[in-house]
Amino acid sequence: MKKSSLKDSIQFVKGVGPKRFQLFRKMNLETIEDCLYFLPHRYEDRSRVVNISELTPDEVSTFQGEIIHSGATPLGRRRKIYEVLIEDPTGTVQAKWYKFNSKYMEQKYAVGQKVVVSGKPTHGRSAFAGLEIIHPVVDTLSGEDSDSLETGRVVPIYSITEGLHLKTLRKIMKQVVDNFAPATEEFFPEDLRRRNDLMDRSKAFAQAHFPDPDVSGADLDAFKTPAQRRLIFEELFLILLGLAFKKRLAGESSDGVPLKTRGETIRKFVRLLSFDLTGAQKRVLTSIMSDLESARPMNRLLHGDVGSGKTLIAMVALLTAVDNGFQGALMAPTELLAEQHYLNLHPFCQEIGVNLALATGTLRPKDRKIILENVEAGEIQIVVGTHALFQKDVRFKNLAVAVIDEQHRFGVRQRETFGKKGPSPHVLVMTATPIPRSLAMVLYGNMDVSVLDEMPPGRKEIVTKLFFQNRRDQAYQFLRGELEAGRQAYVVAPLIEESALVDLKTVQEIHQQLQHDLFPERRVEIIHGKLKKEDRQELMANFKAGKIDILVATTVIEVGVDVPNATIMIVEHAERFGLAQLHQLRGRVGRGGHASHCLLVAYPPVTEEGKARLETMVKSSDGFVIAEKDLEIRGPGDVMGARQSGLPSLRVANLVRDVREIETARNEVQTLIEQDPKLEKPEHQKLKQALFDVWGDGMDLTNIL
């Protein structure tokens, strides 16, 4: 008989079957192992049984009693409610169900039946009614005292999908834990477990799903019990270990092109600048120059706040390739951002004699053919584009430097494809989304990281204010004052066209109001992603030249737009935007020497989460503080493209909650690699196999181990 494996399908566990298996798949639960790592998201302590007289309103409690009345009662003309009166020596309480099957209820809740009940009591509707519990969890007691999963213990609460009842899922999970948790292999060496006080793996699975009664409820809900901590630690450890090996493999590679830095083209470019580089820019450029001079291909992440000068860094890296007779490429996630990069770089390239081209997906076939032929022939020295640069028909003559902007919007496979466009090009990835350290350690553990943490001189802090709908006029009065002072403005809206489903102000609606009602004497224009490329470019050029006073836009202006005279932005329906997006939008102003303002207009009702976002924007302009708060408010989720990052998925760990475990796991990974760089010791063989199992196709570990 075949031995059961954790990789076996959950379909063949008793109680699942083909039909229910489809529901499990909806929750990404396909194997036994998936289910073991699918921990409850919270727990209810139903282990302490109280008397009915001790029940407290709005507090989940468990009590035992006998049914003294049971039956359906009319509720209005057509509806009925099923009521069960339960008694113990200290009092009575009524249980009620609004959804029920009469036949089933009559059989289960017969008068005289002894029951254990868990639920949240509330006061009845009438002044004379006592406590009642709506849709409680009830276990009937028979002569044989059965081991209940619902009462008399700490009960796990799992996330469920429609069609799968929590009670059913709990029974299946108990089978999985009882039958398979004892068979899970321990792969951590004894000294590592002892040093970090880690529970045995099989015991950890059992206790994380079905804890003992004496385990702290607060620790369970905070995911700080020894069982939960063990599983969190192992998941983070294996991810960080894989990233460390991946980084080492990149460090050992010598198939890149060493480039001579600080050449004549770079000198010409620097002489054209009308400002001095910041200390942070000089520091980052020193690291990048060192990377480019090496035969080891650069693999560096550059992240810095909005307006910190990343484009200048990118230009120096690209021109270094040109200086050495090679090509450079800059890729952006949207056409507008690619266009803005092109427009920003073009004057410099023209002045120093570098052939620059823009390649996007909306080029006419004839124009695209000419550009691609010139790229392949090496006549185009720097090409700026979108994901169109990934396509197979894009062939470079000798690509040496690739810059990827706002890289978290691209999947890891796309980035790797781009990296194969040359022998082994130096790759610099950039993001204006500040990344909390805990997240950076996991998402970018295989990369060298540089931070631009200094703003160019003369930049003034952007004052952010919040206006609710009833004070919206004041925001536009303030905008009028800026226009009268000779400045320009952005007004951002969440939608292009009116929607029957959502009652929001649209770009067209706002443009109409501003142009015809509020500012008829001013030039007001619209820009959004559905406009033709030529029209967008013309609008941005006119806005930059001061020919447009107010630019009404969607979030297409979120990144890349640089107009120093634009000093005020109004964001309509600010409650609809995420924190990172609001921060990016705000970064479009404050790019000159004038005081700048970002006015957030919010429309009720605003959720608690929405209020927290808006308050954070008003209080802070520090992108890193905002990124931390963003994680805190909405949790990790798919923050900054984590699912696209090529990492194994996080099933237990939480990058917000488990910062301390990330640090501990990282230190242990470094210690392990120093002691056994190839995991060759006998005590590390099971750990090596676990690493292969977790990463799968995520990276080729056979090149390292």
pLDDT of residue 638: 45
Q: Is the confidence at residue 443, as pLDDT, over 80?
A: no
Top-confidence range, 46-50, 114-118, 223-227: 223-227
Q: Is residue 203 part of a domain?
A: no
Q: Is the confidence at residue 288, as pLDDT, over 60?
A: yes
Q: Is residue 634 part of a domain?
A: no
Q: What is the DSSP string of 335-381?
A: HHHHHHHHHHHHHHHHHHT--EEEE-TTS-HHHHHHHHHHHHHT--S
Task: Residue 594: give its domain's CATH number.
Answer: 3.40.50.300
Q: What is the mean pLDDT of the chain?
A: 85
d(CA 138, CA 512): 60
Domain check: are 402 and 274 in the same one?
A: yes
End position of a domain, from candidates 598, 620, 642: 620
CB 564 within 8 A of CB 519: no
Domain check: are 438 and 480 in the same one?
A: no
CB 443 within 8 A of CB 640: yes
Nearest Cα residue to 564 out of 460, 493, 453, 465: 460
Task: Tell me how many domains the chain contains.
Answer: 4
Per-residue pLDDT band for 458 (boundaries 50, 70, 90) equals low
Instruction: Please give the distance of CA 336 from its chain centroid, rounded to a whole number.
Output: 23
Domain check: are 300 and 338 in the same one?
A: yes
Domain check: are 494 and 363 in the same one?
A: no
Q: Is the confidence at residue 492, as pLDDT, over 60?
A: yes
Mapped onto helix, strand or coil, the DSSP state of residue 400 is strand
pLDDT of residue 644: 43
Between the alpha carbon of residue 381 and those of residues 288, 369, 376, 568, the distances in Å are: 20, 16, 10, 37
Domain check: are 344 and 445 in the same one?
A: yes
pLDDT of residue 397: 92
Which pLDDT tens digit goes with each residue over 236-250? Answer: 999 899 888 877 776
- Average pLDDT of the segment spanning 670-683: 91
d(CA 447, CA 299): 6
Mapped onto helix, strand or coil, the DSSP state of residue 246 is helix
d(CA 298, CA 281): 18
**What secondary structure, in 3-state letters, does 264-306 show?**
HHHHHHHHHCCCCCCHHHHHHHHHHHHHHCCCCCCEEEEEECC
Which pLDDT tens digit goes with each residue over 514-537? Answer: 999 999 999 999 988 778 878 888
Bridge-based pairing of strands 299-304 and 426-431 is parallel
Domain check: are 372 and 478 in the same one?
A: no
Query: Which has the higher per-residue pLDDT, 418 or 661?
Result: 661
Q: Is residue 112 part of a domain?
A: yes
d(CA 147, CA 208): 18
Task: Residue 71: give its domain's CATH number.
Answer: 2.40.50.140
Positive/negative CA dihedral, 203, 206, 212, 216: positive
> How many degrees, rounded to 5, is the angle at CA 555 between CA 553 and CA 557?
70
CB 206 within 8 A of CB 170: no
DSSP state of 574: G
Which pLDDT tens digit goes with each residue over 579-608? Answer: 888 988 898 898 888 899 999 999 988 888
Between the alpha carbon of residue 330 and those of residues 384, 410, 426, the distances in Å are: 5, 13, 12
Which pLDDT tens digit goes with each residue over 265-282? Answer: 999 999 998 888 999 999
Top-confidence range, 35-44, 554-563, 616-625: 35-44
d(CA 303, CA 647): 20
Which pLDDT tens digit goes with each residue over 503-514? Answer: 567 888 899 999
End position of a domain, from candidates 413, 432, 452: 452
Domain check: are 28 and 102 in the same one?
A: no
Over its C-alpha atoms, the chain yields an Rg (Å, rounded) of 31
DSSP state of 684: G
Please state the pTM of the whole predicted model: 0.64
Contacts 24+ apart (CB under 8 A), 605-611: 606/575, 607/575, 609/633, 609/634, 610/575
End position of a domain, from candidates 427, 452, 477: 452
Q: Is residue 526 part of a domain?
A: yes
- Domain coverage including residue 352: 264-452
Instruction: Write phi, then psi, for 509 (nearest 5 degrees).
Output: -65, -45
Domain check: are 141 and 82 in the same one?
A: yes
Q: Is residue 255 part of a domain?
A: no
CB-CB neighbours of 534 under 10 Å: 10
